Chains A and B, each alone.
Chain A
């Protein structure tokens, strides 16, 4: 599958990465090359094969319902590039 610059723009938008016109064209070429190489997987017969999303041979562990965390607003907010006392802050969102 070849990817055109419009598709690059669409997925860049989904991924929230700004791309310039030049980048769009270059990425379209690079991503197309990679995808075409990936498409050799079509040769593999996978009829009736269950997809594998984890190779861990175990079941999901559960934890007890106890409050063991939190109460550390200062630590949570400490690394924020922009914060007002008690909150993270972002450019205003209009709903």
Chain B
């Protein structure tokens, strides 16, 4: 008999093996996680818990396992970022404006997971419409990072926008989670919470059924406690979807198997432009440590240049809000969600959207409206599209010399809840290392590399060629092995 707390501390791969060996049942595994979620409600990691669904799905998994019909993720309990539409289950995108919305459809990525046998624990909290790096913008309240600074019990941000997903996985409330990443929304919270997250290549996972933020940048990906777990999840989330015109019809490799190949002989690019003034020395030190680890594992570090990387963030803050301003036009109080009455149709729109959107969403919708408006389109939007072309070109050149790129994941460790809220620009800087991958559509992984002086996790980022997640995962695993990261957050399954 395995105790509930042992069950929640398993890796996803370990749980899979345990289920297959009948050491415990899927229902026991689900129950342990349901209990951990209940005990950890202080973190506010979930907007909607679905314990009944979890048990029902787990019971079906047990039946299948008994019948010898287990599927790849049979009985694995997962948290789903509340940006994925789930049939019959409230889907909020962290926004007031989607009050009461229960989709009559299931997103392709979650449908893929359920088809593979996974079990839904609930809908994880997030920044409103995935716009944020702190999870502070959620209408359903901030999420607490399960980690604490040493000797300091003040709550910290889990990062964002996939903050609930990251907190849930770190606090052993789920074996894995789905996230989405538009500018760093998987990788930054993964780094802040000491877990692994990968944003695959744009087009690798279907966007169908995921509430859109910035369509040319959004990409779903897994968050888990090990690189192997992330590889297993990605293998089931990914795949061509004819319902998404930007989904690419390529076969999905066996990512887990690819991990065996190691990194010997790989050339690892170290972009000199990522040495940014003001970055804490411990971030720089971790980066150097990462380079050394990969060298020890047989890879060859190569200094490269990404000359336009420093322009990625301002480019992103034109393109993402522009697309968002259009994507969020459908939240108008007519067909779903919140409606605030008004004397005319336009008044109803304006009242609904004023009440339904939070401050950061409004800011971005207004910026996006502005940069697309007559007279400014060329100066802002077209200019950004041109700089984006430059950034794409930088990476194309770099990947002629190297197989992967290593950078820090974030410019700092997790900060205090509520910090940076009065300075949007300071908040935006969280994504300075991650956002290039979204603009270029490339895969990027964040893996824990160690702890800060204050005892908080720090992440390293691995970038790869388009559709070469396998190499990214291999490099990530080499870092994971060398780092031997086994620190645990202060709050696990509700226990502090």
In the complex, A touching B (Cβ < 8 A): yes
B311 and A44 contact, CB distance less than 8 A: yes
Contact B353 A52 (CB under 8 A): no
- Is the Cβ of A18 less than 8 Å from the Cβ of B354? yes
Contact check, A51 vs B425: say whether CB atoms are below 8 A apart: no
B100 within 8 A of partner (CB): yes
Complex: how many Å from CA A44 to CA B318? 15
Contacting residues, chain A, for B315 (C-beta < 8 A): 41
**Whose C-beta in chain A lies nearest to the C-beta of B374?**
A14
Which of A16, A33, A38, A58 sits near B332, CB closer than 8 Å?
Answer: A16
* Given known A27-B363, A81-B339, A88-B334, contact A38–B345 (CB-CB < 8 A): no
Give bound CA distance, A31 to B314, whole Å. 13
Number of chain B interface residues as a range: 35 or more
Interchain CB contact (< 8 A) of A54 among B216, B317, B325, B366: B216
Q: A38-B380, A50-B389 are in contact. Are A17 and B318 (CB under 8 A)?
A: no
Query: In the complex, are the beta carbons of B325 and A58 less than 8 A apart?
Result: no
- B345 x A90 contact (CB < 8 A): yes
A66 at the interface (CB under 8 A from B): no
Give the contacting residue for B336; candidates A11, A63, A80; CB below 8 A.
Answer: A80
A51 / chain B contacts, CB cutoff of 8 Å: 382, 385-386, 388-389
* Contact among B350, B366, B386, B392 with A55 in the assembled complex (CB-CB below 8 Å): B392
> What are the residues of chain B within 8 A of A38 when measuring CB–CB?
314, 317-318, 380
Q: Is the interface of A mostly helix, strand, loop or mixed?
A: loop
Alpha-carbon gap, A81 to B341, bound state (A): 10
Our pick among A7, A15, A82 for the contact of B325 (Cβ within 8 Å) is A15
Verify A3–B370 contact, CB threshold 8 A.
yes
Judge if B5 is at the interface, Cβ distance under 8 Å: no
Interface residues on A, range: 35 or more
Per the 8 Å Cβ criterion, residues 75-95 of A in contact with B are: 75-76, 78-82, 88, 90-93
Question: Is the CB–CB distance between A11 and B366 below 8 Å?
Answer: yes
Query: Which of A1, A12, A39 is the most central at the interface, judged by chain B CB atoms within 10 Å of its CB?
Result: A12
Which 3 A-B residue pairs are closest in the complex by CB-CB distance? A51-B385, A55-B441, A79-B336
Instruction: Show the binding face of B for A, using Cβ within 8 Å.
Output: 100-104, 202-203, 216, 242, 245-246, 248-249, 308, 311, 314-315, 317-318, 325, 329, 332-339, 341-351, 353-354, 357, 362-363, 365-367, 369-370, 373, 376, 380, 382-390, 392, 424-425, 439-441, 466
